[in-house]
Every structure is written in structure tokens, then in C-alpha cells.
Structure 1
Amino acid sequence: PVYLLRHDYGVEEIGYTFSVFIIGGLLATVPVTHLADRFSKSKVLLGSVCMVVLSVLGLSLLDNVIATKVFAFIAGASMSPIFPLSRALIGSKLPTEKLPSGTALFTAIYSAGCTAGPILSALAMKYWGDRYIFSLMLAIFVIFMVRLMINKKKRRLGYN
């Protein structure tokens, strides 16, 4: 909200923008996870992460009310399935006896990221300026995307 307030968005517009983000997530999570069950969890996860990167770039670079809403919808639609897809991948990779501890560790790390993210984004805005609010998130998702691509290539070459 602070970022949008600093860009002269009214309180109503901020509410609409967040609503569009949430609606994107609500509408996309079930169909995207269903696609992952039909095709490949890792491919669908990679696609979601790529869409997050593109939408965050759009949110960072464009300063238009309509574009902000469109990219907020895409960001919500692509970000929301990442948790269930990642958790499903953990479930398919870990042996049954390690599943509870693996899931707990994943949830703890994910929660720590959700807690630290807004704080670190606020610091990025404070020290580098408003336009850098998404820089940390963008960097993390680009690293995640590259890692998924490396894993995909390793699997294709038979290393994994």
C-alpha cells in the first residue's frame, strides 16, 4: 500500500489493486495445480515462476493504473500456486518417513520468507527508492527460475 500511496493511488484504487491480486490467486490456484497433476509439477512450477518474474517486471517498470491491475492479477495468479506446487514436489521426492519433517522445514522456511520479505522490501525502498520495492522479490524468483531450469536440464541429461 505504501508504494501505491507514494505513486498517488487513492485508497480505493489500492483496495481494487489488492483485490485483483487476490482474485488472480483464487482463480488460478486450482486450475494450475490440476495442470501440474496432468503434466509435470516441475514444468508447471517453472511456468508459474516465469510468469511471476514477468509480472513483477511489469509492476516495476510500468506506471499506469490499468497496467498495474493487469500485472497484479497475473502476479497473484502465478504466485499463489507456487506454495502448493512446491509442497507437492516435496511430497513426491521425499520418502514417507521423512515427509513430515520435510514439509515442516519447507513451511518454516516459506513462512520466514513471507515475514522477512516485506521488511526487506521496505528497506530497499528506503535506501534505493520506491522503484526498487520489487527488486529483492525479483532477484529471488530469478534465482528460483534458474535453479528450476538447471534441475530440468539435469533430469533431461540423466543426472538427477
Structure 2
Amino acid sequence: MADAMTNLMTSLARFWEETFSGDCPVIFPGEQREASRWSTWVELAIPFANEQVERSRGLERIGFTVDAHAFAAETTNLNTARRLVDAIRDTLAGANLVVRDVDLSALPAIGWARLAEAEVRDLSRLERNVGGRPLQHFLVSLRGMAQLVEQ
């Protein structure tokens, strides 16, 4: 059976693919894709998680953070990045996710996850200082809580 974080990330990826309306490519953790020709894209990850097992109840709680990095080439319309951020917020803020075991995808849910409101930061200035092509870069962060049946 897959571990809790793998199940959570895979369930988030499936939810994203089913509901995101931003019409741009997304890069998930572990993927390496050539983005130099893309005008917009999103990088989605769970950079922080704190797992707590409640053995007496057979549950596992996970506090986590979802980071969605939104990129738009500065040659595109300046509102493009902001529309992308709005689409990310519309998809993730307040969302309820069903968590399934990736190894047993036909079985019922093993838990749920709920995301809170989004915090948005403009990292474009930092992106320009790094070099490379000029990009608008926004970070959309959301805290979440998952509760899973202990595997």
C-alpha cells in the first residue's frame, strides 16, 4: 500500500485535473518538463506535512501546506498571471478532497482532506533577480488538514 503522503498528493493531483479551469500545463512533484516555450504554467506541491497517528481511533491526521506556483511570461498580457491565480484560488480554496489509496484505486475512500483559504504572494521581483527569461511568478499557498484511516 502507498504511504499517506503519496495518497494525499495523488488525490490532490486527480482533484486538480478534474476541476482546474486555468487551461495551462501543470508540473507535479518529481516531474521534469521543458517549460521554456510555455507562456503560462503551474507547479503544484505539498512542501510541508505533519503526520499524527491516533491509534486508539485508527486514524491518521495530516496537517499540510499546498503550494501552487503560477508562472506567466511577461510577454503575455499582464492580467494573464492574475487570472491564473484566480483560477487556482477558485479550484483549491475551501476544497474538500476525497483521498484514495493509489494502489487500490477501485476501493472506497480512505479519508478526506480540506483546504483553507489561499494566501497569495508575488515573487516576480525575486524571479527577475535569478536571471533567465522575465516571468511573472505568484505563489498561492493553502493550509490543509487530512484525516485518513490508518493503513
Give the TM-score normalised by structure 2.
0.31
Bigger strand fraction: 2
Bigger helix fraction: 1
Give the TM-score normalised by structure 1.
0.30
